Amino acid sequence: MKNQINILFHGLLGSLRDLAPVILVIAFFQLAVVQQPIPDLGGLLAGTALVVVGLTLFVRGLEMGLFPIGEAMAYAFARKGSLMWLLVFAFALGFGTTVAEPALIAVANEAARVASDSRLIAAGDAARHDYALGLRITVALAVGVALVLGMFRILKGWPVQYFIMGGYAGVMVMTLFAPPSIIGIAYDSGGVTTSTITVPLVTALGVGLASSIKGRNPLVDGFGLIAFASLTPMIFVMIYGTLVL
Amino acid sequence: MTAWLLSLLSAIAHTVRDVLPIAAILFGFQWLVIRKPMPNLKKVLIGFIYVLVGLALFLEGLNQALFPLGKLMAQQLTDPAFIYGALQATGHTAQQAHWWDYRWVYLFAAMIGFSCSLAEPALIAVAMKAHQVSGGTVGVWGLRIAVAIGAATGITLGVFRIVTGTPLHYYIIIGYIIVMIQTAFAPRMIIPLAYDSGGVTTSTVTVPLVTALGLGLASVVPGRSPLLDGFGLIALTVLCPLVTVMEYAQLSHWRAKRRA
């Protein structure tokens, strides 16, 4: 019990240190540059306390739950020796976690509003809804494909840079053909797909898979899945834009 | 107090709803395909609950405290009165503004990018894993600070791009040329991690603040449209950490060699 409290206390201190820079920056700009008093100081402190406690619990939960789940499942798939199931799992995880991702829903709705305002798609809620849903499914497919490719790469031990360079060549080529109004959204869509829960999980899966295969190095072969997942949505969204707009 | 508790509970309910598909996929495959008991099931479940509750509190706290203030600040710093006030005092118009007149916005962009990246839970997770897997050669703080410098650079460049109105893809193309050159020279073991670090930085904390800054700025600077110019900050925030993380690896490699 004493040990638990000790861990928690250290965790809280660590989170406080992680968050101190943001608080300092905001306080500095508010007081020194904009020169306005901080509105609702009590609410600000209460909110900051929530952030600190939340981050502490999250990091503790990562070590206890998310990392072990990801690694255990990667080991189990490797031992089962079924390539097909591993890839189906990778696709389901990528597609499933992305299609319902709140950040992506927000960006897709925003993009639909923009497209509708500039008359790129038909006016009306139905057309806007279809367009936003199409974007979300496109990005989710892209992340699913990225994880399948990424897992396959770990199994084969291929160097990550060839894929990434090839991928960016693809992005550049698509930029030439895609309508200009989709490019900014496409470029940003790579960044919004990787959420706070997906990242640790996918990292643990990659590292777990790489360490359960003989001859793979978890550092060299285990990382790289996130990079794939932030690359493919750019290409897929530009293709979607070219087809739809 | 009750209202506060209620909003806390609804935040937890929201997070549970967002995490439900992930949990369904994980446990579905565990029971239907792997068909073996999960090792340490109890501990894993407790950890999962910690993650859920922790993330909910984290997001709720951000929404209550830091986001409103940060967004307000982005608005205040991009307020025409704040940027063009000094200019108009000397008889110039907003159209004559020089890129340097936005200096506080650049400083804010850089500092908010740096500090938000340090607070980003996904980056903490990846740094912890990389530290463990590399047997300690990749330092948790070294990696996080390298990424934070990259994110700060990316956001500042993005703000400069909105102010000057230069096309986004030039920045991206030049960035990737630098990344390709660095890839040829960087220590091989850091490359996948460096590539991952870009996607990792743009998560819960950074995206909302950066988006507010970009859209605010694009609607204030003369001749910019938030629709065309407001996007793209995230893309540069994903790109620049690749450069700084590889640079960090090269520097530590070089220092280790010099010491030997």
Per-residue pLDDT reduced to its tens digit, A81-137: 788 899 999 999 999 888 878 778 877 887 888 778 777 777 778 888 999 999 999
0.90 surpassed by complex ipTM? no
Q: Within this chain, do residues B119 and B210 fall inside the same structural domain, yes or no?
A: yes
Residue B194 neighbours by CB under 8 Å, 6+ apart: B186, B241, B242, B245, B246, B249
Q: Which residues contact A144 (CB under 8 A, 6 or more apart)?
A: A90, A91, A92, A93, A94, A95, A98
Q: Domain for residue B163, yes or no?
A: yes
In a domain, B71, yes or no: no
* Surface-to-core class of residue B70, CB atoms within 10 Å of its CB (0-12 exposed, 13-18 middle, 19+ buried): buried
A217/B227 Cβ within 8 A? no
Domain match, B209 and B186 both: yes
Looking at B38, B66, B94, which one is the last position of a domain? B66
The alpha carbon of residue A156 is apart from the nearest alpha carbon of chain B, in Å, by 15
- Domain range for B59 is 1-66
> Do B41 and B116 share a structural domain?
no
Shortest CA gap A115–chain B (Å): 9
What pLDDT shows up at residue A182?
Answer: 84
**Contact of A61 with B48, CB cutoff 8 Å:** yes
CB contact under 8 A, B192 and A114: no
Asked if B126 and B179 touch (Cβ cutoff 8 Å), the reply is no
Specify whether B167 is located in the same domain as B243.
yes
Residue B252 has pLDDT above 80, yes or no: yes
Are B234 and A191 in contact (CB < 8 Å)? yes
Q: Are residues B146 and B225 in the same domain?
A: yes
> Does residue B89 lie within any of the structural domains?
yes
CA-based nearest distance B123→chain A, Å: 8
Percent of chain A predicted with pLDDT > 70: 100
User: Which of B14, B33, B66 delimits the end of a domain?
Assistant: B66
Do B58 and B109 share a domain, yes or no?
Answer: no
* Residue B72 maps to a domain: no
Q: Is the pLDDT of residue B135 over 80?
A: yes
Residue B222 lies in a domain: yes
∠ CA B30-B31-B37, rounded to 5°: 75
d(CA A134, CA B163): 32
The pLDDT assigned to B53 comes to 92
- Which residue, A143, A140, A139, is CA-closest to A182? A139
Average pLDDT over residues B185-208: 87
| Confidence at B205, pLDDT banded by 50, 70, 90 | confident
Partners of A97 on chain B (C-beta within 8 Å) are 21-22, 25
Q: How far apart are CA B178 and CA B161, in angstroms?
A: 18
Whether residue A56 has pLDDT greater than 90: yes
Alpha-carbon dihedral sign for residues B93, B95, B99, B103: positive
Could you give the number of structural domains in chain B? 2
My answer on whether B19 and B87 are in the same domain is no
Same domain for B162 and B119?
yes
Q: B145: which 2 tokens?
A: 């600070």
User: Which of chain A's residues have a Cβ under 8 Å away from the Cβ of B237?
Assistant: 191
Query: Pick from B66, B91, B118: which residue ends a domain?
Result: B66
**pLDDT band at residue B38 using 50, 70 and 90 as cut-offs:** confident
Backbone angles phi, psi at A42, to 5 degrees: -60, -50
Residue B147 has pLDDT above 70, yes or no: yes
Indicate the residue of A34, A73, A161 with minimum beta-carbon distance to B77.
Answer: A34
The pLDDT of residue B97 is above 80: no
- Give the CA angle between residues A150, A160, A218 to the nearest 5°: 75
Q: In this complex, which of B4, B205, B232 lies closest to A188 when CB atoms are compared? A: B232
Q: Which residues of B touch A7 (CB under 8 A)?
A: none
- How far is residue B238 from each of residues B113, B151, B167, B198, B213, measured CA to CA in Å? 12, 7, 17, 4, 16
Both B4 and B127 in one domain: the answer is no
| pLDDT per position as a tens digit, A184-227 | 788 888 877 777 888 999 999 999 999 998 888 989 999 999 99
> Residue with structure tokens 């060699």?
B257
- What tokens were used for B75? 């608005």
Measure A155 CA to nearest chain B CA, in Å: 15
pLDDT at B227: 65
* B39 plus B86 within the same structural domain: no
Residues B176 and B244 in one domain: yes
Distance CA B51, CA A159 (A): 33
Contacts of B83 (CB under 8 A, 6+ apart): B77, B94, B97, B101, B102, B105, B220
Residues of chain B in contact with residue A195, where contact means CB-CB under 8 angstroms, are 122, 203-204
Out of B59, B66, B229, name the one closest to residue A26 (CB): B66
B46 near A CB under 8 A: yes
Residue B187 forms part of a structural domain: yes
Tens of pLDDT, residue by residue over B7-19, are 888 888 888 888 8
Q: Coil, strand or helix: which one is B157? A: helix
Residues B115 and B181 occupy one common structural domain? yes
**Tokens encoding A105:** 């829903």
User: Using the beta-carbon criterion (under 8 Å), do A93 and B112 form an inter-chain contact?
Assistant: no
